[in-house]
Structure 1
Amino acid sequence: MVTQAQNNNDTHSDKLSVSVTRNWTVENSDWQRSAFLKLEQETFVQGIDPEQTIQLLMPGFTLSRLRTKGGLDVYWGDRQSITTEFASDSLLSDINMFRVTALSKWLRSIDEHRFLLRFQAGGISTSSFDRVPASLRYFAGGDQSVRGFGYETLSPYELDENNEKSLTGGQYLTVASIEYSYPVVEDWRASVFVDAGNASDNIAEDIATGYGIGATLVVACWTHSIVLSTRP
């Protein structure tokens, strides 16, 4: 049994979750398989909407793969994962919902030139999105998403009584990134990158862009970036 509290931007959430998971591998395959069943109850306030308590019983499945070469200073690798989960109001859930989230990262090198590609996508199919718990909605922004924007600050929004933006969370997520790096001195690599994406009510809507330069200390796995950004 796991309890989780979140108070971030316009999200206020308390969740109680119980889950069982079965993991297995297939001989001569890099792919890991995981089936799970989660029972969650979440009390949340998202934006200016009133507090809700939603219960969901969600079966789901994850398929994932991780491959690397190079030890600490990885020069080749990739990671893929896709997770699907659903809930039904005829099976101990308050709403009908189907959710899928996918991630793909690729690192490839040509001599000293290194290229990192990243793509994230997600979507929720439901007739009751206003009742989807805050923890299952999509938000973008942050170091592992669209750099140059605060953590989970990209999302559809409503205007509150003071005419200020209040985040609602998105039904869809689309984020893509490309980064190039090259060694400049021992243990240091300089990089340039472009990130683009958003969490939205329609697929690939109101794309935000962040671009900049960075430096990575390989030995300590430390990264610092200077980022510029444009909002939709």
Structure 2
Amino acid sequence: MDLPTILAHTNETFDGERWNGLRNGTVTLFADTRGTEEMASTRASRWLTAEVAVGSSHLLLHEDEWYEIGDRHRDFLRQEIAEILGRPSDIALPPWTKDLEDEDAYNRAAARRDHSLVLLDKKLLRTTQHRRGIEACDLLGPGGELIHVKRAKGSSQLSHLFTQGIVSYEALRYQQDARTRFLDAVRRQPNGRDLGQDFRPTKVVYAIALRTGRTVTVNSLFTFAQVALYQAMKALRNEGVEVNVIAIPPI
């Protein structure tokens, strides 16, 4: 599904009615190709993210809601994000070469190349609180860093990445069943090791490759991604956790 598919709802709609069309239209997910086992249905407008300049205002559409960000807040946010992006990191990941089509292939290649990395991508931790399972991280660093990897072309993907860092940290910090399953999963991987029962995560690393090939900067990060990163950084910093953002270079 792509943007034109969703916006087709508005092609024959009069000015002033297009937003109603997107809010009244739905996107439905099915578990089967015949479309008989419905899983979930949401408003079409929830699948859109947009940034619109209206006069001196800067309006943002995200998750079916409009937000306005003033100039002073936007300047403050940019300063905070620039500081986060400028922090040095001990973690360096290999380039994302053209033969690696998706995150699964990239994470596997990174773990094969660097044996200090433990591959945990798609190793779901099913717990009492998270019955469907969560990923603790995509890669575990040599110092126990939780590394979350994303190749993104939009703010919603990065927002999910930053939220994932908070959810996984809180699970490993406060849920014993999540921590037990995590430690067991780390031991069983090819590059695995014993972290010890007293392991608690102290660093979260977001590793980002932009599909455009651009460098990760304040200017290349979408506004909502900046907001989500700032919120994740605040939440994790309050827990005493260091946050790093590193760029995965393309080739």
Tell me, yes or no, whether TM beats 0.5. Answer: no
TM-score normalised by L of structure 1: 0.26
Greater per-residue strand proportion: 1
Query: Looking at both structures, which has the greater relative contact order when contacts are Cα pairs under 8 Å and sequence separation is at least 6?
Result: 2
